[in-house]
């Protein structure tokens, strides 16, 4: 696979987001399925694995550590702090003591002495970003993490954090249907030399082309976070479905699958962009990784962007209660 820079590391252009092996999209697969996906990814040349304390409230870090710990020298390990499970509930807590405790717990679960890239999963807005970054800088000095990342923050917050300690990578949602990074933070990353990691690059499955009927959304499992996401609800979903025929036609023209088209578009947006699609399927894993071989003509990219963009996609990406927790720039209504 082609290589790209992730902070101080060189990794495969497409990484693996490990979240849905333990979290977020209904009942997670069995540990055996999770193990098979992780090992096959490693075998296929994935060298960037992304997890977090939040995912499965520690279960995902435990899975990654158990399965990949013995292969630790073969990949770059990213995890996250600042948002964890407490008494069965998701809690954002960016206090320095919490960050340091979470890191100690993560090191044990991940079966490693050091985490290569450690993100602040969410900025806790009651704690100055400088205080949270100070704690993470301490972890670098102590040799417990090698570099620092931020997730779902604005360009202004990135600059404030970077003034405390260099930020290696910024992670946020970026896909054809979530273009918010193009407002300001992507430019700020390039100005500061910060790698950009794109999560949900296939639009939480929408751009894979398999969700074509509102009945499928109605059948999402009770714990599937998409149930609460406006773009998958009622009139918004119906409006977004109207984009799909044109999108599938462009995938056929490009000679690739719909998911590969979504990933190839991101790869074409800059060599500093690293998508981390997640999957529970070996077939989808192999399909996603082959997107690195898809070259898109500039004209096709232009037609893609004209079809799916901030003006044509219906609905905000998060429900209101979640939206207030993030710091990313938003398009004007």
pLDDT in tens, 172-200: 999 999 999 999 999 999 999 999 999 99
**Mean pLDDT estimate for the chain:** 97
The domains of the chain, with CATH numbers, are 3-204+269-293 (3.20.20.100)
pLDDT of residue 333 exceeding 80: no
pLDDT digits (tens, 9 = 90+) for 259-285: 999 999 999 999 999 999 999 999 999
User: Residue 150 belongs to what H/E stretch?
Assistant: strand 145-151
The residues, ordered by sequence, that sit 6+ positions from 36 with a Cβ below 8 Å of its Cβ are 282
pLDDT of residue 107 exceeding 80: yes
CA atoms within 13 A on the CB side of 203: 32
Tell me how far apart the alpha carbons of residues 151 and 199 are, in angstroms, rounded to a whole number: 10
Long-range contacts of 180-187 (CB under 8 A, 24+ apart): 180/310, 180/317, 180/328, 180/329, 180/330, 180/331, 181/328, 183/329, 183/330, 183/331, 184/154, 184/155, 184/329, 185/153, 185/154, 185/155, 185/158, 185/328, 185/329, 186/270, 187/155
Which tokens sit at 239? Answer: 């409006």
Which tokens sit at 263? Answer: 């990933």
Give Cα 167 distance to the centre of its chain. Answer: 17
> Which residues are part of the catalytic machinery?
55
* Whole-number pLDDT of residue 260: 98
Task: Give the closest residue to 120 by CA, choosing from 144, 88, 96, 156.
Answer: 96
State what percent of residues in the chain have pLDDT above 70: 100
pLDDT digits (tens, 9 = 90+) for 50-88: 999 999 999 999 999 999 999 999 999 999 999 999 998
């Amino acid at each position: 696979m082609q290589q790209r820079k992730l902070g101080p590391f060189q990794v495969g252009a497409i990484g693996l987001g490990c979240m849905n092996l333990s979290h977020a999209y209904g009942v997670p697969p069995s540990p055996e399925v999770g193990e098979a996906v992780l090992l096959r990814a490693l075998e296929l040349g994935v060298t960037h694995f992304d997890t977090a304390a939040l995912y499965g409230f520690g279960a995902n870090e435990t899975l990654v550590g158990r399965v990949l710990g013995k292969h630790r020298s073969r990949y770059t390990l990213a995890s996250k702090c600042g948002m964890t499970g407490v008494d069965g509930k998701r809690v954002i807590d960016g206090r320095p003591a919490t960050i340091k405790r979470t890191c100690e717990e993560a090191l044990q679960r991940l079966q490693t002495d050091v985490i290569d890239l450690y993100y602040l999963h969410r900025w806790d807005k009651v704690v100055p970003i400088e205080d949270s970054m100070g704690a993470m800088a301490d972890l670098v000095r102590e040799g417990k993490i090698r570099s620092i990342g931020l997730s779902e923050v604005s360009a202004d917050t990135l600059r404030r954090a970077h003034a405390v300690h260099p930020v290696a990578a910024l992670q946020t949602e970026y896909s054809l249907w979530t273009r918010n990074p193009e407002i300001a933070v992507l430019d700020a990353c390039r100005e500061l030399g910060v790698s950009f990691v794109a999560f949900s690059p296939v639009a939480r499955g929408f751009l894979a082309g398999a969700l074509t009927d509102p009945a499928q959304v109605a059948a999402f499992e009770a714990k599937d976070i998409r149930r609460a996401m406006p773009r998958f609800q009622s009139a918004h979903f119906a409006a977004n479905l109207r984009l799909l025929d044109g999108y599938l036609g462009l995938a056929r023209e490009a000679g690739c699958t719909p998911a590969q088209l979504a990933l190839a578009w991101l790869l074409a947006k800059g060599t500093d962009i690293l998508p981390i699609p997640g999957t529970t399927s070996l077939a989808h894993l192999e399909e996603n990784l082959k997107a690195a071989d898809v070259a898109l003509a500039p004209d096709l990219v232009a037609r893609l962007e004209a079809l799916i963009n901030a003006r044509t996609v219906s609905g905000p990406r998060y429900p209101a209660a979640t939206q207030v927790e993030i710091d990313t720039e938003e398009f004007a209504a």
